[in-house]
Copies of this chain bind each other. A is one copy, B any other.
Amino acid sequence: MRTGIWLIGARGSVAVTATVGALALRAGLAEPVGCVTEQPPLCDAALPAWTDLVIGGHDIVATPVLKKAETLAAGGVLPGRIVGVLTSELLAHEDRVRMLPTAATQAETADRMAADLAAFAQIHRLDRVVVINVSTTEPAAHSHPAHADIDVLHTALTQTDQILPASALAAYAAFRAGCAFVDFTPSTGARLPALADYARQQRVPFGGNDGKTGETLVKSVLAPMFAMRNLRVQSWSGLNLLGGGDGANLADPAANAAKVSSKQRVLGDALGYLPQGTSRIDYVEDLGDFKTAWDLVGFSGFLGTRMRMEFSWHGCDSALAAPLVLDLARVTAAAHAAGHVGALTDLGFFFKDPLGDGPSALSEQWTALTTFVGGLEQRR
């Protein structure tokens, strides 16, 4: 099952880490730490092998991937030794990354993107391609009547207005090319009625949104802990300090609002009520690719006794996100092969703001994921 991964934002930190990692895994240079599909029972499922994966992608910048990899190595995100060994592979990879097309209309842009996808599949003799958006977070999109109906949308895109935000246009192009689509960001992606219809028409699945790599991951186990113990969470406040491109982008209040909202959703779902407090995001350039989150949880126990918990999470976003991107490509490709179309609602394990009404507790999401992937296996 030769599988292509087409990354929107292919020259960014997450994409380059995923690329170096996939090459390193194929070359046996690294262990698949952080790859959840390498764990039982997922490792026994019929997923594409590391050697079946080919990575390409679009970006709006031209920095060579090798150079970005070297920058990441200098910042402690990638091991310099591995980047050195993979130099020739990374130079070869460069040919598989293209500038994101721009055209007079979004319809034309989408055509060119779809053409790139078709060429990628043909050149590398791929059975299927999964398009994954790992570009930076967009501001919340403006709604438009064409978002509700795929036929209206087709027409609207032939105008010179910008009808779709970039993430949604990527989804549209993927579906046009018969590819699955996953949005790893909090952007719109495929979350429009017209695009959901289009995916079903084109018989392709899609997944998202917003990879769960830090504070929200921890919340998704701690909130259920408080709930299972019937402790009353009075307040849950947090501060996320981010460097890197994503941090700078989220300093924009509009993008920030989108992300913050998806960060608190898990609390209401797990607890059945929303405690006081908010979760903030601040940009601190000096943190580079790392992020630090601090959360304070005030809770009360038997007879009202007040107690508290704090945690600090110091994570490298790229190192946490990249293996999940590879996992999602494997799972989504297998789902596509097994005939799933439309929204994949059993992937909540990976996302802060998952599609559908699945559970928000990590352990239940794990059960949903393993059941889903196990079912793929049986069907084949």
In contact, B309 and A231 (Cβ under 8 angstroms): no
Contacts A222-B222, A234-B286, A235-B284 supplied; 7 other A-B pairs, CB < 8 Å: A33-B300, A80-B80, A235-B287, A239-B239, A275-B286, A280-B282, A310-B311
Q: Does A262 contact B (CB under 8 A)?
A: no
Q: Does A39 contact B (CB under 8 A)?
A: yes
- Tell me the bound Cα distance from A323 to B239 in angstroms: 32
Contact of A229 among B36, B77, B276 (CB under 8 A): B36
Q: Does A17 contact B (CB under 8 A)?
A: yes
Which chain B residue has the least Cβ–Cβ distance from A76?
B76
A16 nearest CB across to chain B (Å): 11
Which chain B residue has the least Cβ–Cβ distance from A362?
B225
In contact, A33 and B302 (Cβ under 8 angstroms): yes
In contact, A316 and B323 (Cβ under 8 angstroms): no
In contact, B230 and A36 (Cβ under 8 angstroms): yes
CB contacts under 8 Å to B, within A163-185, are none
The digit string for A185-202, where 1 denotes a CB below 8 A from any CB of B, is 000000000000000000
- Tell me the A residues contacting B by CB distance below 8 Å: 17, 20-21, 24, 30, 32-36, 38-39, 76-80, 82, 217-218, 220-222, 224-225, 227-232, 234-235, 237, 239, 241, 275-278, 280, 282, 284-287, 292, 294, 296, 298, 300-316, 318-320, 322-323, 349, 361-364, 366
Known contacts A277-B284, A302-B17; is A309 also within 8 Å of B311 by CB?
Answer: yes
In contact, A230 and B287 (Cβ under 8 angstroms): no
Among A34, A292, A361, find the residue whose CB has the most chain B CB atoms closer than 10 A.
A34
In contact, A79 and B296 (Cβ under 8 angstroms): no
In contact, B315 and A312 (Cβ under 8 angstroms): no
In contact, A320 and B304 (Cβ under 8 angstroms): no
In contact, A228 and B294 (Cβ under 8 angstroms): no
Contact of A303 among B36, B241, B319 (CB under 8 A): B319
Complex A-B: 18 CB contacts under 8 Å: A21-B303, A34-B231, A35-B302, A36-B228, A36-B230, A76-B76, A82-B303, A218-B225, A221-B224, A222-B222, A277-B282, A277-B286, A286-B298, A294-B296, A305-B319, A309-B313, A309-B314, A363-B363
For A285, the chain B residues whose CB sits under 8 A away are 276
Contact of A237 among B224, B239, B296 (CB under 8 A): B239
Which chain B residue has the least Cβ–Cβ distance from A292?
B296
In contact, B229 and A303 (Cβ under 8 angstroms): no
- Tell me the bound Cα distance from A95 to B298 in angstroms: 38
For A363, the chain B residues whose CB sits under 8 A away are 224, 228, 361-364
A302 nearest CB across to chain B (Å): 4
For A241, the chain B residues whose CB sits under 8 A away are 235, 237, 277, 296
- Tell me the bound Cα distance from A302 to B33 in angstroms: 5
- Tell me the bound Cα distance from A233 to B308 in angstroms: 21
- Tell me the bound Cα distance from A186 to B292 in angstroms: 30
A283 nearest CB across to chain B (Å): 9
For A21, the chain B residues whose CB sits under 8 A away are 302-303
In contact, A231 and B308 (Cβ under 8 angstroms): no
